[in-house]
Structure 1
Amino acid sequence: MADTKVPVLTFNNGLTMPQLGYGTWKSKPEEVTEAVKMAIDAGYRHIDCAYCYGNEKEVGAGIKAKIDDGTVKREDLFITGKEGHFRFPKDENGKFIYSDGSYVDTYKGMEDLVDSGKVKSIGISNFNHQQLQEIVDAARIKPANHQIEHHPYLKQDKLLAYCKERDITVTAHGSIGSRDRPWVTDNKEEHPNILEDPKVLAVAEKHGKTPAQVALRWGIQRGVAVIPKSVTESRIISNIQVFDFELTAEDMSELNSFPDKRYRGVELAWIGDHPLYPFHLEF
């Protein structure tokens, strides 16, 4: 079943990462073990997970099952984890209690993990360009990757260029529009749906592909890694079937024509008053 050849992105340390991976945020613990097994069977070799997603143990069980049955070896897999094995504290009113800790200090701790051999590559997520530059200036080990929201409604052109100039690869979360979020409503003005957009639908019909496949292919052709999430076998398979067609220059121009910042699915609004909130800046 796993006959899809997924291209890789090369990090600034010479190591590589499959350009398409399997995302696990918002997957229910009782569903994600089987979903991870299906993803590995379908050809995914890049798994994106985190303790704070509340399903990391179950993701690990799926990975272990496919190693134990001989489908893959551990060295065949690229696994992304996220720093932070604790819940955010809240006060009596339910408001997050912010620490005065420094993300630079956290990053230096991650560098120690590379030194110890516990991880091979380190990166950041949801930083603006000033925060990214602060890390680069302080780092012994340059970030290999920056994971950000990226889709046709949020192209992030300036941030992508900023990362490219510094030889930092980019992974996109929300590649097909971040619909599976508790705050998403049916209000099309507040929460437009990429997968129902006439431009995306027209390109999909032209190529005989689904709107999700078009959105993923758009990200891939922009040099970004994508990590779509699904627990449905047919969609898991469909999401990796994006390497048998190519969007034309006209297609890319059409999909690039949306106003930038039309929609950010993950605004992190619950920490909007934090002094280090990343999205106050243009990029």
Structure 2
Amino acid sequence: MLDLGRLRALHAVSVHGSVAAAAMALGYTPSAVSQQITKLERETRTTLLERRGRGVALTDEALHLVTAARELMAIVEQAETTLEERRGRPTGRLTIAAFASAARGLLPGVLAELARLHPGLDARITEVDPHLSVDLVVRGMIDLAVAHDWDIAPLPAPDGVEQVFIGEDICDLLVPRGHPLAERSGERNRSGESGRPVRREELVGERWICQPPGTVCHDWLVRTLRSAGSEPDLVHRVEESHTQLALVAAGLGVAVIPRLGRGTLPPGVVAVELDPVPRRRIHALWRTGAARRPAITATVTALREHYARTE
């Protein structure tokens, strides 16, 4: 009889593209994942992985097993959902994928509340970019994703996935305190008046600090500035918003950064309102087959309540 844990390891390699990435997703070491697949190869008397340069590729036989693994994991999920539903309380493990600022600014409070109210629930998070996390939900590698989208790049829920709106996250233009636009901040300027918002057309020629290409926020910034008639000068490309803030504080450029998880601004940084105000929408997504799980219901409720407190 094939071992489900070993099939799950093979399925993870198929989803994530490498043994190392699969190990990270499963919370194991690469050596442990390799051992699981080696044992599966012995059980099936079949070669499942082939070396391709520095990576691996799945054989045709492995792809057949991955399909079977996906079906078996769906059956197990349904059984676990039914048992949890019969108990009437959140139990078992719940894996959550969240983008960086939600993992920092929202999930700590949510996880702490879940642990306090539902001691039988083992909720765990992994930091994942939104456009990747939804696919992990579809493939059964993650139970619930906290993702975001923008008005010019909506995030549709694929077939078999349910989605609920959590809230809107407002973004500000962040500039060095000595920047000409700093006078337009919400703080009182020298004349004792609050500054007026900055139009996107006024940002032509600015040096930008942003996230790397391929991320949702990077793509939004480029498309938005191009629609206003300028090609943005992307000087510094870094993932962490706190690193972006440090670069702004050093006078090396300007940035558009959402408020969620941003924390207190450094002394040398000023927030200026934009017109129109950039907003990203935050959603929770999960597989339709798991919708009855009390763990999903409790987590979504906690997400919405905690987000309302951050606004």
**TM-score, structure 1 length as denominator?**
0.30
The answer to which structure has the higher strand fraction is: 2
**TM-score, structure 2 length as denominator?**
0.28
The answer to which structure has the higher helix fraction is: 2
